[in-house]
Amino acid sequence: MVTMHYADFAWESAAQLLAIDSPTGFTAKAALWAKEAFGKLGFAATITEKGGVLIDLGGENLNDGLLLAAHTDTLGGMVAQVKGNGRLRLTALGGMSPNNGEAENVRVYTREGKVYEGTFQLCNASVHVNKDYSSAPRTFDSCEVVLDEKVESAKDTAALGIQTGDIVCFDPRTRRTESGYLKSRFLDDKLSVGILLGFAKYIADNKITLKRKTYVYITVYEEVGHGGSGSIPAGVTEAISVDMGCVGDGLACTERQVSICAKDSGGPYSYEVVGKLIDAAKKTGADYAVDVYPYYGSDVEATLRAGFDIRHGLIGAGVYASHGYERSHIDGVYNTLKVICGYLKV
Catalytic residues: 222
Q: Torsions phi, psi of 207, nearest 5?
A: 50, 50
Q: What's the rounded Cα separation, in Å, for the pair 205 and 193?
A: 18
- Which residues, including other chains, have CB under 8 Å from residue 152's CB and lie 6 or more apart? 85, 86
3-state class of 230 per DSSP? coil
Among candidate residues 231, 204, 257, the one with its CA nearest the CA of residue 67 = 231
CB 242 within 8 A of CB 69: yes
Q: What's the rounded Cα separation, in Å, for the pair 45 and 57?
A: 9
Q: What's the rounded Cα separation, in Å, for the pair 324 and 150?
A: 30
Q: What's the rounded Cα separation, in Å, for the pair 329 and 194?
A: 13
- Which parts of the chain are beta strand (E)? 44-47, 53-56, 61-71, 76-82, 88-93, 104-109, 115-122, 143-147, 167-170, 175-176, 181-184, 212-219, 236-242, 245-246, 258-264, 267-268, 288-292, 311-319, 326-329
- Which residues, including other chains, have CB under 8 Å from residue 136's CB and lie 6 or more apart? 122, 130, 142
Q: What's the rounded Cα separation, in Å, for the pair 107 and 92?
A: 15
Q: What's the rounded Cα separation, in Å, for the pair 114 and 126?
A: 29
3-state class of 114 per DSSP? coil
- DSSP for 145-192 reads EEESS---SHHHHHHTT--TT-EEEE----EE-TTSEEEETTHHHHHH
* DSSP 8-state symbol, 275: H
